[in-house]
Structure formats: C-alpha cells, structure tokens
C-alpha cells in the first residue's frame, strides 16, 4: 500500500527519494510524487502510474537537501495526478504525504475548512489545509502540527514540509507504520525500512500518537501534549542484498526458489545445540493454558492458518478456529473461557488483523503474532511473537512466507504437544529437512511446470482447483495465486462440494487442477476428477508419490502427510507464475493489489 520516504541532510535528495520510492514499489501503488525544498521554494512533481514516469518528469536540475516522497494506493478518490501525494495547502506553504485513512475528514472539512477550495478528492488534503488554518492561530508550526494530529481520527503516517522552515521535517503516526532512520549529518523517514536501508540501518521506532521533529542532526520525539520522549535507535536486521532480484527476472521466482533455504533457516533458528526445539517458554505456557485457539489472518496467511488448524488439532490436540480478520471484528463468535489468539501476518501490518488485535487486548486475552517482521505493529502489540525467518518478501504474491508460516505452526504444534506430554511419532526438524529437499526437487522442474501452465492456462478464462482435507486448503491458496497474478478467474473448492452447484460451470476445456496427497481421500478426489472429466474438463492431477496413477500430470516427492501443503503448493505457485508470464502480466506488481494492506 502507500509508501513514504523523506530525507533531510547535506546531499541532494532527488536520487534518494526516487530510489526509496522504487524500493517501496513492491507494496503496490497507482501514483507517485516527490516534493523538495530549496532556497527558491518548493519543487513538486507528481504522476499517475509508475515511478519510471516520475523519474522522467522530475527536473534533474533541481538541487535540494530536504524532501518527501510518496507512492499512493487509492482509497479516497481515483488514481490521478491531482489525487497523488504530496498535497499542498491553499497558499502552498505546507506540503504533506500521508498513509492511512482519516475517518473524520468530512467532519473536519465541514467544521473548519468551508472557505477553502480543494484541489483533490483525498482525505489527506484535509490534513494539510487544517494545518495551514491552525498555523494562523498558533505561534509555531510545531504547535499547529501537534494540534492537527490531535484532531485527526483514523490511521496516519505523515511527513510535512513547511516552506518557511528548511530545518525540519514534521512527522507523526497513528496506527500506520513509520520509522525515522538516523544517519551521520542526515536523517530519513520511511514507512518501511526497505526504502532507506541503502543509507542507514539505524532506526527509531515511532509509537502511535507521537510527533517527531526531524532535523539534519537531531530527532526529537514528542507526545501530543509536547512532552519529549527519549528512545534509542535499533539496528534493522535486513540485508540489502535480500531486497535485490539478482539474476532472477522476478522477485516471485526468486522467492519460490528460496523456500528450501527458508525451511533450513527455520530448522536452525528453532533448534538448540542438543537438537531440541527452542521456543519462548512463555509461548509454551500460553499454548498449554488455553482451551481453544483462534487464528486470525487474511488472504494467503488465512490459508496458512487453515493448514495450521489441522497441524495444531492433530499434533497438540487443542481445538482451533480460523477466522478471516476483516469479518471477525463484526462477527465475533462466542469465545471459549480461556482463548489464545494467534495472528498470522507476513507483514505484521495488516489493518484488518490489527483491528482484531486491538479488540482482543481490550478484552484482556493473550495474543501471539507469527510474522516475518518482528518489529511490526502486530508483533509489538501482541504478547508474544514467533518469527518466520523468511527474509524480505518483495513480490506482492506471497510464496515463501506461506510455507514459512506453515513450518512455524508445525513447530509450535509439536512444542506444545511435547509440553503436554502427548505421544508423538513426529520429529518436526527431520520432517522439515525432508520437505526442504523435496522443495528443491520441485523447483528444479520448472520446465515441466511451465509446459503445464502453457497447456492448461495460457488462454482459459477460468480455472478450478480441487482437493479434499488439507489439499482443499492448498487448492484455495493455489487459486488465489493464480487469480492475483494472472487475472484468470479461479476458485479453490472442496472436491466433494463441486457437484452441489458449481459443477454447472464446467464446460469443454475448463481447467480443473486436482491435488491428491492424502491416502484417506485419494479415492474420493479421483472420483471427483472423473465427474468433471465426464463434463468436458481439462483435468490435471498433481499427486504425491505412492498415490500416483498413470495419467497424473505431476508427481510430488513424498513427505510426511501432515506437511504435504509445504510441497503441493510449490507447483501451484509455479503454475501461477508461468500462467502470468504467458499472459504478459506484471508478475511482481499485479494490478490493484498492495503488499501490505494497511487500511481496513
Ligand atoms: C496474497 C497475499 C495476501 C496477503 C494478505 C495478508 O499473495 O499476499 O493475500 O497474504 O494481504 O497479508 P499479511 O500476511 O501481511 O497480513
């Protein structure tokens, strides 16, 4: 979703802002802009579309040592140059970039800004116009800025330039992520450390309802009442090379290929020198103490949660419910007496999940976040965190985070089972090692999968994925991957459910991709394949070794039956990738999508 980058220092800021925005492209956006302040005033450049267009538009002769930049993912108002950030106040004195959604923007507009003429349809412009109004009442911009922040309801990460002050970037946040990066003679602002890692790895966390005055050699954090807050910087644990594509044509392919490495990293991180599981004992206690687990997540992470339910129920013998975050807040089920909430989120910033976490904390229930970004909002605000160790995931379509989530859930389930004294015939680290090798064998067979994608998916309008039991969960993930990057209309279905209505959509040539990795449902899913073939479907069966039949399109290496989703998803990820390539889609940055969905 929207991204922010800001710089104040000694160097020319153009390249840093444009480069920072390019690093944020992966989050998804539809317009972009930068503003730079120098002695001759403010220089503003905005475009609808890609950063490459912005680069063409920016006047390379402009020199400035402070500036702000933004990538916008439209919420209020269509994607357009007018609605692109930065936005300016009526006089042009104040210039702002903003991530988030201001819930009371209409009320503020009606009450305080009736005489102001607006140049955009955005809620953001209300903020900058309000600051200008308040600057007429207050002695300093700092006071007006704090007052304005106090009046806003909703989520925001903000960076503001006052044309009359070339010494300060005014920064604030509430519910949306924002970091201040510390440099030598310069400081930066970013909604994601990825944007500014090239220049610093030292970051200061900003908490909700704080404002920050960012100067060239000083950073002052304040509460909304003006009292100052001291906070030490931390070192960001991201390797810059992890954020580069290297020789790969797309991040998605690189990330699919990284999955065996991620499995091995997880094995290493969650094991001590004696080959015993190494988990925070507080997490173990929370798992043991609960009578029911509520998994909350969105999209691909929700699909990982469905697999997690089977792992936890089978191994740790605790009942689990899995809920889509955006539905949970409005539709809260009756909770058990001792619930434990598990939030699964690659980014740790998903607003829908965070809204549930806020409610859960109000109710006083314990919460564990499983995330790829340990310092993220969901990680900070939960009681406990488990790290995915997947490395930065840049492609919008999640791949290695999904498999990492399942692996960590398996480890959590086994750790709990051991703590409960359950009888177990399952060594998770050994089994995950087998999974890593199986994944490698699969990623080595790209040509075969590309051929299947060409044969089954290069021209079709729609496709079905079917499976039973855990294969049903993976079929939902396979269909999500396909639809989000190839734009083929795809559905993941329980194999037995198709004939209760949806089979009406099967026509001559409709692709149906069936998974068969579970012995107990192998017979029935093959029956479902026959049903669709009899109606003209072009069926492709992906089966597990030991269950294969002669006509199967692809046979997966054998792994433990509880961990089959970790391997069966790999050909589905590759099928989606190649189907998207054959259709000439923008694989890493599919239309309308954002990597980190920070609005509800
Ligand atoms: C799909 C995808 C999304 C995310 C969802 C939740 O490939 O990436 O469906 O899984 O937006 O995001 P996180 O995991 O960051 O909470």
pLDDT, position 25: 83
Nearest CA to ligand 1 atom 3: 299
436, 460, 487 — which closes off a domain? 436
Asked whether the CA dihedral 483, 486, 487, 490 is positive or negative, the reply is: negative
What would the pLDDT profile of 529-588 be if each residue is shown by its tens digit? 999 999 999 999 999 999 999 999 999 999 999 999 999 999 999 999 999 999 999 999
Catalytic residue, chosen from 14, 173, 309, 595, is: 595
Residues 201 and 260 in one domain: no
Q: If you measure from the C-alpha of residue 112 to the centroid of ligand 1, how many angstroms do you get, rounded to a whole number?
A: 38
What would the pLDDT profile of 21-32 be if each residue is shown by its tens digit? 998 887 778 899
Residues 137-147 have a mean pLDDT of 97
Residues 211-223 have a mean pLDDT of 97
Q: If you measure from the C-alpha of residue 203 to the centroid of ligand 1, how many angstroms do you get, rounded to a whole number?
A: 25
Quote the CA–CA distance of 424 and 429 in Å, as a whole number: 13
What would the pLDDT profile of 44-74 be if each residue is shown by its tens digit? 999 999 999 999 999 999 999 999 999 998 8
What would the pLDDT profile of 358-415 be if each residue is shown by its tens digit? 999 999 999 999 999 877 889 988 999 999 999 999 999 999 999 999 999 999 999 9
How many Å is the Cα radius of gyration of the chain? Answer: 25
Q: What is the CATH number of the domain that holds 260?
A: 3.40.50.10490
Residues 176 and 47 in one domain: yes
Quote the CA–CA distance of 210 and 232 in Å, as a whole number: 15
pLDDT at 493 > cutoff 90: yes
Q: If you measure from the C-alpha of residue 389 to the centroid of ligand 1, how many angstroms do you get, rounded to a whole number?
A: 16
Q: If you measure from the C-alpha of residue 300 to the centroid of ligand 1, how many angstroms do you get, rounded to a whole number?
A: 5
Residues 204 and 266 in one domain: no
pLDDT, position 598: 67
What would the pLDDT profile of 433-465 be if each residue is shown by its tens digit? 999 999 999 999 999 999 999 999 999 999 999
Mark whether 290 is an active-site residue: no
pLDDT at 128 > cutoff 80: yes
Quote the CA–CA distance of 191 and 342 in Å, as a whole number: 25
Residues 476-498 have a mean pLDDT of 96
Q: Are 279 and 266 in contact (CB under 8 A)?
A: no
User: Using 50, 70 and 90 to split pLDDT, how confident is the model at 592?
Assistant: confident
Ligand 1 pocket: which of 302, 346, 479 to mutate (most atoms <8 Å of CB)? 346
pLDDT, position 238: 74
Q: If you measure from the C-alpha of residue 301 to the centroid of ligand 1, how many angstroms do you get, rounded to a whole number?
A: 6
The atom of ligand 1 lying closest to the CA of 353 is 16
pLDDT, position 513: 98
Residues 577 and 547 in one domain: yes
pLDDT, position 1: 67
| 3-class DSSP assignment, residue 546 | coil
Residues 310 and 390 in one domain: yes
Q: Which residues contact 597 (CB under 8 A, 6 or more apart)?
A: 1, 298, 347, 349, 350, 351, 352
Q: Which two tokens stand for residue 75?
A: 């919420």
| 3-class DSSP assignment, residue 391 | coil
Write down the mean pLDDT value for the chain: 94
Provide the percentage of residues in the chain whose pLDDT is more than 90.
85
Residues 337 and 194 in one domain: no
What would the pLDDT profile of 175-208 be if each residue is shown by its tens digit? 888 999 999 999 999 998 889 999 999 999 898 8
239, 271, 286 — which closes off a domain? 239
What would the pLDDT profile of 256-270 be if each residue is shown by its tens digit? 999 999 999 999 999
pLDDT, position 514: 98
Residues 97-122 have a mean pLDDT of 93
Residues 273 and 351 in one domain: yes
User: Using 50, 70 and 90 to split pLDDT, how confident is the model at 599?
Assistant: low
333 to 8, 291, 302, 321: CA distances (angstroms): 49, 15, 17, 10
Provide the percentage of residues in the chain whose pLDDT is more than 70.
99
User: Crossing angle for the helix pair 124-137 and 141-151, nearest 10 degrees?
Assistant: 130
399, 415, 436 — which closes off a domain? 436
Residues 380 and 253 in one domain: yes
pLDDT at 595 > cutoff 90: no
Residues 33 and 56 in one domain: yes
Nearest CA to ligand 1 atom 8: 398
Residue 504 belongs to domain spanning: 445-600
pLDDT, position 236: 83
Q: What is the CATH number of the domain that holds 71?
A: 3.60.20.10
pLDDT, position 246: 85
The per-residue DSSP string of 206-252 comes to --TTEEEEE-SS-EEEEETTS-EE----EE----GGGGS-TT-S-HH
pLDDT, position 155: 86
pLDDT, position 456: 96
The atom of ligand 1 lying closest to the CA of 371 is 14
Number of domains in the chain: 3
Query: Which residues does a 6 A CB cutoff place in the pocket of ligand 1?
Result: 298-301, 345-347, 350, 353, 397-398, 480, 484, 596-597
């Amino acid at each position: 979703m929207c991204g922010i980058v800001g710089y104040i220092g000694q160097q020319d800021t153009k390249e840093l802002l444009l480069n920072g925005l390019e690093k944020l492209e992966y989050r998804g956006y539809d317009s972009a802009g930068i503003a730079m302040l120098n002695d001759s005033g403010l220089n503003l450049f905005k475009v609808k579309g890609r950063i490459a267009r912005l680069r063409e538009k920016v006047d390379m002769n402009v020199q400035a040592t402070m500036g702000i930049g933004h990538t916008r993912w439209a919420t209020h108002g269509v994607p357009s140059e007018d609605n692109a950030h930065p936005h300016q106040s009526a006089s042009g004195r104040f210039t702002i970039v903003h991530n988030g959604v201001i819930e009371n923007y209409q009320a503020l507009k009606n009450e305080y800004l009736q005489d102001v003429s607006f140049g955009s349809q955005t809620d953001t412009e209300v903020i900058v116009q309000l600051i200008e109004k308040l600057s007429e009442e207050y002695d300093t911009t700092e006071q007006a800025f704090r007052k304005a922040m106090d009046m806003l309801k909703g989520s925001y990460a903000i960076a503001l330039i006052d044309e009359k002050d070339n010494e300060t970037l005014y920064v604030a946040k509430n519910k949306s992520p924002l970091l201040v990066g510390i440099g030598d003679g310069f400081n930066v602002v970013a909604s994601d450390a990825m944007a500014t890692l090239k220049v610093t790895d030292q970051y200061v966390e900003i908490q909700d309802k704080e404002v920050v005055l960012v100067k060239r050699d000083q950073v002052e954090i304040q509460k909304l009442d003006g009292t100052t807050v001291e906070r030490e910087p931390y070192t960001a644990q991201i390797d810059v090379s992890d954020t580069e594509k290297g020789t790969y044509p797309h991040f998605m392919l690189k990330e699919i290929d990284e999955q065996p490495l991620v499995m091995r990293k997880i094995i290493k991180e969650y094991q001590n020198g004696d080959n015993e599981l190494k988990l925070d004992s507080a997490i173990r206690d929370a798992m043991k103490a609960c009578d029911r687990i509520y998994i909350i997540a969105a999209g691909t992470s929700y699909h990982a949660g469905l697999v997690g339910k089977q792992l936890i129920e089978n191994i740790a013998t605790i009942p689990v419910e899995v809920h889509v975050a955006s539905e949970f807040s409005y539709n809260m089920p009756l909770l058990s007496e001792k619930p434990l909430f598990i939030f699964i989120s690659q980014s740790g910033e998903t607003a829908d999940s965070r809204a549930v976490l806020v409610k859960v904390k109000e109710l006083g229930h314990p919460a564990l976040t499983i995330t790829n970004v340990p310092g993220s909002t969901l990680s900070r605000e939960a009681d406990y965190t488990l790290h995915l160790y997947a490395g930065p995931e840049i492609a919008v379509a999640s791949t290695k985070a999904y498999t990492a989530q399942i692996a960590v859930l398996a480890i959590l389930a086994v750790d709990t089972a051991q703590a409960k004294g359950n009888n177990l015939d399952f060594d998770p680290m050994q089994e995950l090692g087998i999974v890593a090798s199986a994944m490698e064998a699969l990623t080595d067979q790209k040509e075969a999968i590309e051929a299947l994608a060409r044969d089954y998916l290069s021209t079709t309008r729609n496709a079905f994925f079917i499976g039973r039991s855990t294969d049903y969960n993976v079929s939902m993930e396979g269909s999500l991957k396909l639809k989000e990057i190839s734009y083929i209309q795809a559905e993941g279905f329980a194999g037995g459910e198709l004939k209760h209505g949806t089979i009406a959509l099967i026509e001559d040539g409709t692709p149906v991709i069936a998974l068969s990795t579970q012995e107990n449902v192998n017979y029935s899913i093959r029956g479902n394949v026959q049903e669709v073939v009899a109606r003209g479907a072009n069926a492709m069966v992906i089966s597990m070794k030991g269950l294969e039949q002669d006509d199967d399109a692809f046979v997966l290496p054998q792994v433990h039956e509880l961990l089959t989703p970790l391997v069966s998803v790999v050909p589905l990820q590759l099928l989606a990738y190649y189907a998207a390539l054959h259709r000439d889609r923008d694989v890493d940055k599919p239309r309308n999508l954002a990597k980190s969905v920070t609005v509800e």
